[in-house]
Structure 1
Amino acid sequence: MAVLHDIRAAIAAVLAAENGTSSGPADYITAAHSAVDALVGRNDPAFDARSPDPGDARGALGQLNDLLDHEATPPFVPALHGVQINLLAAVASLQDALKARSLDGFQENASDALENLEIAQGRSSQYDVLGGIAGAIANTRLGVPDDARIADGCAAPHRPGFGVSHGWLAWRAVKRGHTPVATGGYASVKMENDMMILYTTAAPMVQQHCTRHADAKAAAAPALIKAAVPAATTPLYTTAQAARGKAVYAANCASCHGTNLQGVAAPAIAGSAFLKTATTNKYTVSILDTIVTQNMPFNNPASLKPGQYADVMAYLLASNCYPAGKMAFPSDPKPGFGTAIVGVQAHPAGTPDAKGVCPVK
């Protein structure tokens, strides 16, 4: 929560100067220094004691480093690494803003910093690395108080407490009429057994994991994971569409997902590791299309045209070695389209590189 507070303080400091009706150069400089102070903390050489400090002594990066130093492999660690990268980028942009010789130069760098800060702040409605610190607090045990009653997240709630499974927070149960609860960050709320049950965005994923684990245990034998998904070989896009999608991706997606689609401040979206995750989680082409069209780009969701989103989907399929055909990926898919689970192709349409990504020309 301290990390989240410091990030929001930095955002507020920059926005206050940009939105001010009488802001001058001194106000902008003070705002940038204050934002940096909130991020780096008072023991960092970049800290400016002459400017108002809206954060705390450790700063967002200091608090974040404390979390990463004391934790091994809980599910929120990848998200925290993404937060860390974006905070460092924000500090660098703010320092560049302080060196700018014009107001336009300052604002350009400050805008870059705000974009990184928004990604670092994230959303409680996303439980993966794109959720940032808000998503990690809302969907993992990172947001569970130390003295809280912990229950099995795979089981239905029987008494007040937090349902946790493998580090993921699935639900919180509160006795009805007993404890006030802020429902922000929860995907759904239900009344069960005289309790209010607040389910997180990660709850469906946790349930799938629990079901798979139970099935595997009942079988009393290790499950064999098929290396290919031959049912997903139906052509879903055209070569020309994938080429257009490559340009759209470079302009709107590469800054987070990387030019090689292996992830920078966001997860990989092509290659062997991505396809293994997609198959395990039973992502279909339709599910991926929904994620892309409704949640991306992260800093400006649903801002592209329908045709651009369709082109990006074509590029992603091509990069994952799906075969091209004569029909373009639709900008308005009809029910029943793209129901096959995403996975490694039995007959790759191209030559995958070492990461399992097929190049797109």
Structure 2
Amino acid sequence: MGQKGTVAFRRARVILGLIVLLFSASTSVLHSEETNTGVTVYSEEQAHKGHDLYEVHCASCHGAALEGQGSLPLSGATFRMRWADDRHSVDDLFYIIRTLMPYGQPAALSKQEYIDITAYILMVNGYPAGAQPLPLDQRILKQITIRPQQP
């Protein structure tokens, strides 16, 4: 490889490194350490709306406290094992809820109602509320990684 090829290769590596760094810095994260510094992804008002919707559409199968009642629990150790693994985004959780629930009537609610229920599930699992509600923008939801909270 000539000198021009070596310089071009180094330049490409630097550019790739910068792209990776910028992407990493732009990703929001649900994590206890970072939420202490202000990273929050839903509003308290949104979670309260989600609670009301959850009681009507979800509690009969998943339990009043999300503990599972004939269906999988949506809180506690089961939630942490399934979702809080650094591999799933809020969009993954939102997608499952809006495409499969309520059982036997998938997609029966509006997207806004599903995102409010998602906010409620996050609240019950210890993720703190902030000033802004969870958006319906799939690109943003994909950037929010669900990380473990302290039990």
The Cα of 1:340 is off from its aligned counterpart by 3.6
Q: 1:294 aligns with which of 96, 99, 105?
A: 99
TM-score normalized with structure 2 length: 0.69
C-alpha distance in 1, partners of 2:33/2:92?
16
Alpha carbons of 1:245 and 1:321: their partners in 2 closer, same or farther (altered >3 Å)?
same
Q: 2:48 aligns with which of 239, 243, 257?
A: 243
- The match for 2:119 is 314
On the 8 A contact 2:86/2:146 being kept in 1, the answer is: no
1:83-232 equivalences in 2 (<5 Å): 229-230=31-32
- Please give the root-mean-square deviation of Cα atoms over the aligned residues, in Å: 2.3
C-alpha distance in 1, partners of 2:95/2:34?
18
On the 8 A contact 1:249/1:312 being kept in 2, the answer is: yes
Percent identical among aligned pairs is 30
Higher-RCO chain (CA-CA 8 Å, sequence separation at least 6): 2
The Cα of 1:294 is off from its aligned counterpart by 1.2
Structure 1 position 284 matched with structure 2 position 79: no
More helix as a share of residues:
2
TM-score normalized with structure 1 length: 0.31
Which deviations, in whole Å up to 9, do the C-alpha atoms of 1:112-169 show, x marking residues without a partner? xxxxxxxxxxxxxxxxxxxxxxxxxxxxxxxxxxxxxxxxxxxxxxxxxxxxxxxxxx
- The match for 1:3 is none
- The match for 2:26 is none
The Cα of 1:336 is off from its aligned counterpart by 3.6
C-alpha distance in 2, partners of 1:306/1:273?
25
The Cα of 1:311 is off from its aligned counterpart by 1.2
The Cα of 1:248 is off from its aligned counterpart by 0.3
The Cα of 1:334 is off from its aligned counterpart by 3.6
- The match for 1:342 is 146
The Cα of 1:328 is off from its aligned counterpart by 0.8
C-alpha distance in 1, partners of 2:73/2:143?
22
Alpha carbons of 1:343 and 1:276: their partners in 2 closer, same or farther (altered >3 Å)?
farther
1:72-91 equivalences in 2 (<5 Å): none
On the 8 A contact 1:232/1:340 being kept in 2, the answer is: no
The Cα of 1:310 is off from its aligned counterpart by 1.6
- The match for 1:268 is 73
Q: What is the one-letter code of the residue matched to 1:342?
A: I
Q: What is the one-letter code of the residue matched to 2:79?
A: F
Q: What is the one-letter code of the residue matched to 2:74?
A: I
Alpha carbons of 1:232 and 1:282: their partners in 2 closer, same or farther (altered >3 Å)?
farther
Q: What is the one-letter code of the residue matched to 2:119?
A: A
Alpha carbons of 1:322 and 1:338: their partners in 2 closer, same or farther (altered >3 Å)?
farther
On the 8 A contact 2:76/2:125 being kept in 1, the answer is: yes
Residues matched between the structures, number:
119
On the 8 A contact 1:245/1:314 being kept in 2, the answer is: yes
Which deviations, in whole Å up to 9, do the C-alpha atoms of 1:167-216 show, x marking residues without a partner? xxxxxxxxxxxxxxxxxxxxxxxxxxxxxxxxxxxxxxxxxxxxxxxxxx
Q: What is the one-letter code of the residue matched to 2:148?
A: V
The Cα of 1:306 is off from its aligned counterpart by 2.0
More strand as a share of residues:
1
On the 8 A contact 1:276/1:343 being kept in 2, the answer is: no
Give unpaired runs (5+ residues) of structure 1: 1-227, 347-355, 357-361
On the 8 A contact 2:102/2:108 being kept in 1, the answer is: yes
C-alpha distance in 2, partners of 1:338/1:236?
12
Which deviations, in whole Å up to 9, do the C-alpha atoms of 1:202-241 show, x marking residues without a partner? xxxxxxxxxxxxxxxxxxxxxxxxxx94477321111111
